[in-house]
């Protein structure tokens, strides 16, 4: 897996992508979907992990929607930290959704090469 930008990645056919989530100052109120289909949390309730296998043909993409929920009572420093890892290599961190951010439901694009 290769990172092209914060929201865009290139992946290989049949690669497995793992998305690990660390809630900071917030409850584990996060969900993920792959092309509109909900992804199951394969981690724990407090440390969610979402995985999907690349099953598109080269040139097509997986669109992974992440929805992060914050309560008014959560501190302004609350955030969700993400790590994206590909089974064919590549690990990317430093990706966060913050309570103060305008976008709390980003969509990440994984294009098959």
What confidence tens digit (pLDDT) does each residue in 21-37 have? 999 999 999 999 999 99
Q: Domain locations in the chain?
A: 2-112
What confidence tens digit (pLDDT) does each residue in 56-108 have? 999 999 999 999 999 999 999 999 999 999 999 999 998 999 999 999 999 99
Query: Is 2-112 CATH 2.60.40?
Result: yes
Q: What share of the chain is helix, strand, coil (3-state, %, to 5)?
A: 0, 50, 50
- The Cα–Cα gap between 28 and 67 comes to 11
Question: Could you tell me the pTM of the whole model?
Answer: 0.94
Locate 63 and state its tokens.
């669109």
């Amino acid at each position: 897996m290769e990172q092209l930008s914060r929201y865009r990645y290139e992946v290989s056919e049949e690669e497995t992508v793992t998305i690990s989530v660390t809630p900071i100052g917030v409850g584990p109120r996060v969900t993920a979907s792959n092309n509109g289909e909900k992804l199951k949390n394969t981690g724990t309730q407090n440390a969610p992990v979402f995985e999907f296998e690349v099953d598109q043909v080269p040139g097509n993409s997986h669109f992974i929607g992440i929805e992060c929920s914050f309560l008014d009572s959560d501190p302004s420093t609350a955030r969700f930290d993400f790590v994206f890892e590909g089974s064919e290599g590549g690990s990317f961190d430093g990706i966060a959704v913050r309570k103060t951010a305008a976008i709390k439901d980003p969509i990440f694009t994984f294009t098959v090469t």
